[in-house]
Amino acid sequence: MSEAVGPSRIPSPRARGRVLQAVNKTWPGLISGAVEGRARELIDDGQYLEAAEVLEQGIAKYGAGSVSQLLLAWCLHMGERQEAALEWADRAVAEEPENEDAHWLQASVLYELGRVDEASVSLWRAVELAPDNGRYYMQLAWYHHVDQEFAKTRELVERALERSPEDAWVQHTAGRIFDYHLRHKRAQAHLRRAIELDPNLVDAWYDLAENLQVRGRLSSGVRVAWKVVNDAVDTKAGDAAVVEAWGLYEATLRRWSWRWYEWALRAVLLLNVIDWIFPTPFAVAVGLSGALAAVFAAGLAVSVCTLLPACRADLVGQGRRGHFAGAAARMLLASGGIVLVLFGEPTALQHLGILAVIIVAYVEWYWRAAQISGRRMFGADPDV
């Protein structure tokens, strides 16, 4: 949900269709030419640098006016030659100052180069030229969703949603931004809407699985991840897609048990504070301890039962048993420790020491949770 942000990870709507359509409008006489014809064949095969080389050869042979500079800039951009892409994007803007796609491409290249403020200026120019394009507003929101006040970011998100409510990319990016700002329920609604609009939007499925687990629906997140794995295998999506899907599934399984340990820490923290402020008599200690055990037992039973049989087996399968056992041992240790605290009569200083232990345990939990999800422990996430 989603990173100021890591430029290479922006979920940018860089579909070739919009750039090629812009080229068609501006350069109708060149579409059937040998240079661009060959370049388009390479683009269809995803060979963007090779296509850029063909276009550059055409320029060297026939002059800069013989090839769409916007198309060349876009191929360089997609081929990760951002410095060269910026040079040609600037030329495309100078050549077609009223073409919003030229400004959009210039902004995208500037963002990839880490020049976020300049990218925003270029994108605002695209917004002025095409005020009804919701993607431009959403991309502006994405540029600043980490370092800008949430109210300003949300205003841009709402404008984007108002203008392009049926755009799966807009809905997906809205979900990631709301998730980043801890509006998890709102994020889930947008992620589900994105999937309704484009069921093949795999990244949205990934984000939904993690969102569900963050909201406490641990088994639902595992089921979503399991569906992604099965879809990738059934549709023969390719080795890379299958490996990525299995990686997501692995993370959701590990989060399942690790989140239960976090909830144990939450309960321990709460009960320690209660016992610190209001020392618990023996009868109350028995009641609280019984309630703690009953709640955890019931919650675990329900969560396990709602897992698919295959997922239950995978939870403690080879390579995962150690992680599961480690989380379970920590949970039992935390729960047993707080029971001893409730039955004992710690002093205020001892309660403070217990609090320090809980904080250290929480830091360890957070560090491990960041590892599981492939996030940085501090700062913006690499995939946000």
CB neighbour list of residue 164: distance below 8 Å, 6 or more residues apart: 133, 134, 135, 138, 170
- Confidence check: pLDDT of 15 > 60: no
Picking from 74-88, 131-145, 224-238, 354-368, which range would have the lowest pLDDT averaged per residue? Answer: 224-238
- Confidence check: pLDDT of 343 > 80: yes
pLDDT per residue as tens digits for the range 197-238? 998 888 899 899 989 988 888 899 999 989 888 888 777 767
Q: What is the mean predicted confidence (pLDDT) over 110-135?
A: 91
DSSP class per residue in 337-369: HHHHHHHS---HHHHHHHHHHHHHHHHHHHHHH
Q: What is the pTM of this model?
A: 0.76
How much of the chain, in percent, has pLDDT values that exceed 90?
Answer: 30
Residue 10 to residue 145: CA distance in whole angstroms: 12
- Confidence check: pLDDT of 359 > 90: yes
- Confidence check: pLDDT of 66 > 70: no
What is the sign, positive or negative, of the torsion defined by CA atoms of 374, 376, 382, 384? positive
Q: What is the mean predicted confidence (pLDDT) over 109-115?
A: 91
Q: Write down the mean pLDDT value for the chain.
A: 82
Count CB atoms within 10 A of the CB of residue 160.
27
Q: What is the mean predicted confidence (pLDDT) over 326-333?
A: 90
> Per the structure block, which two tokens stand in for 271?
């009960």
Q: What is the mean predicted confidence (pLDDT) over 325-335?
A: 89
Higher pLDDT, 190 or 54: 190
Q: How far is CA 228 from CA 115, 202, 206, in A?
A: 35, 7, 8
Measured at the alpha carbon of residue 164, what is the angle toward residues 161 and 169, in degrees to the nearest 5?
Answer: 85
- Confidence check: pLDDT of 378 > 50: no
How much of the chain, in percent, has pLDDT values that exceed 70?
Answer: 86
DSSP class per residue in 166-234: T-HHHHHHHHHHHHHTT-HHHHHHHHHHHHHH-TT-HHHHHHHHHHHHHTT-HHHHHHHHHHHHHHHHH
- Confidence check: pLDDT of 30 > 80: no
Q: What is the mean predicted confidence (pLDDT) over 335-350?
A: 84
Compute the radius of gyration of the chain from its Cα atoms: 26
Q: What is the mean predicted confidence (pLDDT) over 16-28?
A: 49
Alpha helices in the chain (DSSP H): 16-26, 34-44, 48-62, 69-78, 82-95, 100-112, 116-129, 134-144, 150-163, 168-180, 184-197, 202-214, 218-234, 239-277, 282-305, 309-315, 321-343, 348-373
CB neighbour list of residue 178: distance below 8 Å, 6 or more residues apart: 1, 157, 184, 186, 187, 190
- Is the CB of residue 310 less than 8 Å from the CB of residue 219? no
Q: What is the mean predicted confidence (pLDDT) over 295-322?
A: 87
- Is the CB of residue 219 less than 8 Å from the CB of residue 256? yes
In the Cβ-directed half-sphere of 89, how many Cα atoms lie within 13 Å? Answer: 28
Chain centroid, CA 94 distance in Å? 35
Higher pLDDT, 170 or 321: 170
Q: What is the mean predicted confidence (pLDDT) over 284-295?
A: 82
| Phi and psi angles of residue 186, each rounded to the nearest 5 degrees, phi first | -65, -40
